[in-house]
Amino acid sequence: MFDYFKGFVTDKKRTVKGTFVTIEAGGCGYLLEVGERDFDAIKINEETLQKVYVLLTHREDAMSLYGFSHKETRDIFQILLSVSGVGAKMAIALLNEFDACDLITLVIDGNFKELTRAKGVGPKLAQKIILELKDKLIKTELPRAACVLPQSQAADDTLAVLLSLGYEEKEIEDAFRKILPTLADTSNSEEVLRNVLTYISKQV
Q: What is the pLDDT of residues 168-192, one digit of tens each?
A: 877 887 788 788 778 877 788 888 8
Q: How many CB atoms lie under 10 A from the CB of residue 142? A: 19
Q: Which domain holds residue 134?
A: 72-139
**C-beta of residue 137 within 8 angstroms of C-beta of residue 143:** no
List the CATH number of the domain containing 8.
Answer: 2.40.50.140
Instruction: Say yes or no: 135 and 149 in one domain.
Output: no
Q: Tell me the per-residue pLDDT of 26-63, one tens digit each, with 9 for 90 and over.
A: 899 999 999 999 999 888 988 888 899 999 998 777 78
Q: What is the mean pLDDT of the chain?
A: 86
Instruction: Say yes or no: 123 and 106 in one domain.
Output: yes
Instruction: Say yes or no: 26 and 60 in one domain.
Output: yes
Single pTM value for the model: 0.71
**C-beta of residue 169 within 8 angstroms of C-beta of residue 143:** yes
Query: What is the tally of structural domains in the chain?
Result: 3
Which pLDDT score is estimated for 65?
95
* Position 94 confidence tier, pLDDT thresholds 50, 70, 90: very high
Of 24, 45, 68, at which residue does a domain stop? 68
Which pLDDT score is estimated for 189?
84
Of 106, 139, 172, at which residue does a domain stop? 139
Instruction: Say yes or no: 77 and 135 in one domain.
Output: yes
**Which of 138, 90, 137, 136 shows the shortest CA–CA distance to 115?**
90
Of 139, 174, 192, at which residue does a domain stop? 139
Instruction: Say yes or no: 8 and 59 in one domain.
Output: yes
Instruction: Say yes or no: 57 and 82 in one domain.
Output: no
Q: Is 82 left (phi over 0), alpha (psi -120 to 50) or beta?
A: alpha
Residues in the chain: 204
Instruction: Say yes or no: 77 and 124 in one domain.
Output: yes
What is the rounded CA–CA span in Å between residue 172 and residue 24?
34
Concatenate the DSSP letters of all residues of 79-103 into one string: HHTTSTT--HHHHHHHHHHS-HHHH
Instruction: Say yes or no: 83 and 59 in one domain.
Output: no
What is the rounded CA–CA span in Å between residue 123 and residue 115?
8
Q: In sequence order, which residues have a C-beta less than 8 Å from that of residue 190 and are 6 or more positions away? A: none
**C-beta of residue 176 within 8 angstroms of C-beta of residue 164:** no
Which pLDDT score is estimated for 190?
87
Judged against a pLDDT cut of 70, whether residue 141 lies above it is answered with no
* Position 145 confidence tier, pLDDT thresholds 50, 70, 90: low
Query: Helices marked H in the chain — which ranges?
Result: 36-41, 71-80, 88-97, 100-109, 112-115, 123-139, 153-164, 169-179, 189-203
List the CATH number of the domain containing 98.
Answer: 1.10.150.20
